[in-house]
């Protein structure tokens, strides 16, 4: 196996791996923004640059193949300076005011004061506490206090039901484009032609709603607060919600999800990035179809029929009645006069328990479910 020098350590690698992959495999952290694992590397943001001996410029680790005997420095002063410049540029290019919140308003620039007036900016950025750009700004000690930020002239797309696209916080990384085109293969975000510099009025990944399935893969991929979920807006920031892993309740694919829970409510769903079988993907139902559980129309207590209507009952009363009636019917007409339909949506343990009730207690095999729909 070929080897190379990574921060003065000799490590081996497989031909075809990128510098980023070799670093990750050796627990060396290189920051990334535009890199999306399942898509082709664009080398667009350049935050992942590293120093390679013999090369006169810094090279993007995500897009550069590892070579035998390369000597790589991932955190040299030159690398840090370059990264810092990129972060400064990105912060200045948009309405990123999250890190200002700890500073007195007297130190804010005019543009920064104006940000608060814009739609969806009355609350702190929805990505706060879970934003790659913010993390990097903190790590590389880039301050935004008092700088002039470009807050005007960015498009805002908040007309669709699920996702708000606030391009004033878009860093142009292109991950949403790749998530849509290469991961979900929906081709709903045509790539703006060329590089950011070629678009003096802004480089914005706008959506073609003809093809959009509202799967939210772009949302999952966005490293900043540019794309966020409308109905979760303002409900919790980064670490406030607890994450619970579960399985999607809709189709037979069985996607793995994180439920974001705060105050006994599920406020958002994201995909488990590396989890099988869905590897970080969800569809519109899995990602946005969670709030039915908190609907005010839920059944909250047992009901017993009285003529044409129902009245509330206690569990004891309702269950006694069910047991009594079923016993009676069994006595008069035999156990096969009872029948039940189980639920193909509910957990295994429920179906097991229901068939056990019918077989062991009622003494009939009249148990089925909608296996066929």
Partner 1 sequence: MFLVIGSNMTEAHPVAATFLKNAVMKGARLIVVDPRRHKLVDFAERHVPIRVGSDIAFANSLMQVLIEEGLYDSAFVDSCTIDFDLLQEKVAGYPPEKAAEICGVSAETIRETARALASVKPLMLCYTLGITEHTCGRNNVVTLANLQMLLGNMGMECGGVNPLRGQNNVQGACDMGALPNVFPGYQKVVDADAREKFAQAWGVPGLPEQNGLMIPQMMEGLTNGRVRGFYIFGENLANTEPDIRKVEHELASAEFLVCQDIFPNETTRFAHVVLPAAAWSENDGTFTNSERRVSRVRTASNPPGEARPNWWIFREIARRMGHAWESDSAREIWDNEISVLAPQLCGIKYARLEGDGLQWPCPDEEHPGTCFLHRDGQFTCGLGIFTPADWTPPAEVPDEKYPLVLSTGRRLAHYHTRTQTGRCEGLNDILGEETADISLADARDLGVDNGEMIKVSSRRGEVTVRANVTREVPPGMVWMAFHFREACANWLTNPAFDPVTLTAEYKACAVRIDRIAAP
Give the pair of three-digit tokens for residue 112.
Answer: 């920064």
Residues in region 278-307 near ligand FES by CB under 6 A = none
63 is a contact residue toward ligand SF4 (CB under 6 A): no
131 binding partner (options ligand FES, ligand SF4, partner 1, none; Cβ < 5 to 8 Å by kind):
ligand SF4
Torsion sign, CA atoms 118, 124, 126, 130: positive
48 is a contact residue toward ligand FES (CB under 6 A): yes
Task: Tell which one of 22, 33, 100, 338 touches ligand FES (CB under 6 A).
Answer: 33
Task: Tell which one of 67, 129, 190, 335 touches partner 1 (CB under 8 A).
Answer: 335
34 is a contact residue toward ligand FES (CB under 6 A): yes
- Report d(CA 241, CA 269) in Å as an integer: 11
Residues in region 66-95 near ligand FES by CB under 6 A = none
Give the pair of three-digit tokens for residue 234.
Answer: 């303002």
60 binding partner (options ligand FES, partner 1, ligand SF4, none; Cβ < 5 to 8 Å by kind):
ligand FES
For 62-79, the DSSP string reads TTSB--TT-EEESS-HHH
62 binding partner (options ligand SF4, ligand FES, partner 1, none; Cβ < 5 to 8 Å by kind):
ligand FES
Long-range CB contacts (within 8 A, 24+) of 195-198: 195/44, 196/172
Answer for the pair 131, 169: CB distance below 8 angstroms, yes or no: no
Task: Tell which one of 23, 47, 125, 207 touches ligand FES (CB under 6 A).
Answer: 47
Q: Which is nearer to partner 1, 59 or 269 (CB)?
A: 269
Strand partners, 246: 257
Provide the minimum distance between the beta carbon of 227 and ligand SF4 in the complex, in angstroms, as a whole number. 5
Give the pair of three-digit tokens for residue 18.
Answer: 């990128």
Site string for ligand SF4, 225-264 (x = CB under 6 A): xxx-------------------------------------
- Report d(CA 371, CA 233) in Å as an integer: 38
End-to-end CA distance of the chain: 53
């Amino acid at each position: 196996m070929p080897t190379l020098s990574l921060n003065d350590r000799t490590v081996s690698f497989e031909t075809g791996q990128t510098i980023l992959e070799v670093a990750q495999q050796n627990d060396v952290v290189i920051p990334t923004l535009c890199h999306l694992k399942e898509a082709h590397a664009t080398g667009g943001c350049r935050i992942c640059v590293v120093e390679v001996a013999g090369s006169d410029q810094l090279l993007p680790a995500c897009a550069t193949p590892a070579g035998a005997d390369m000597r790589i420095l991932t955190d040299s002063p030159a690398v840090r300076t370059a990264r810092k410049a990129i972060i400064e540029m990105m912060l200045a290019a948009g309405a990123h005011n999250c890190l200002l919140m700890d500073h007195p308003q007297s130190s804010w620039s005019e543009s920064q004061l104006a940000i608060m007036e814009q739609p969806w900016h009355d609350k702190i950025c929805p990505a706060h506490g879970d934003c790659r750009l913010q993390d990097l700004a903190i790590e590389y000690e880039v301050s935004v206090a008092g700088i002039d930020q470009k807050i005007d002239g960015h498009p805002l797309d908040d007309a669709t039901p699920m996702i708000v696209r606030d391009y004033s916080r878009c860093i142009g990384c292109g991950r949403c484009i790749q998530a849509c085109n290469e991961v979900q293969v929906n081709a709903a975000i045509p790539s703006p032609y060329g590089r950011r510099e070629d678009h003096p009025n802004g480089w914005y990944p706008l959506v073609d709603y003809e093809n959009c399935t509202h799967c939210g893969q772009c949302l999952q991929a966005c490293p900043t607060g540019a794309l966020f979920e409308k109905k979760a807006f303002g409900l919790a920031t980064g670490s406030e919600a607890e994450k619970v892993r579960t399985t999607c309740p809709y189709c037979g694919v069985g996607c793995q999800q994180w439920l974001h829970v705060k105050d006994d409510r599920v406020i958002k769903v994201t995909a488990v990035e590396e989890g099988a079988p869905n590897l970080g993907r969800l569809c519109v139902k899995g990602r946005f179809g969670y709030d039915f559980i908190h609907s005010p129309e839920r059944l909250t207590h047992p009901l017993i029929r009285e003529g044409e209507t129902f009245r509330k009952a206690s569990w004891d009363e309702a269950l006694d009645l069910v047991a009594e009636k079923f016993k009676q019917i069994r006595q008069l007409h035999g156990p096969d006069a009872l029948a039940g339909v189980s639920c193909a949506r509910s957990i295994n343990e429920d179906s097991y328990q229901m068939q056990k009730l019918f077989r062991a207690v009622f003494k009939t095999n009249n148990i089925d479910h909608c296996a066929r729909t």
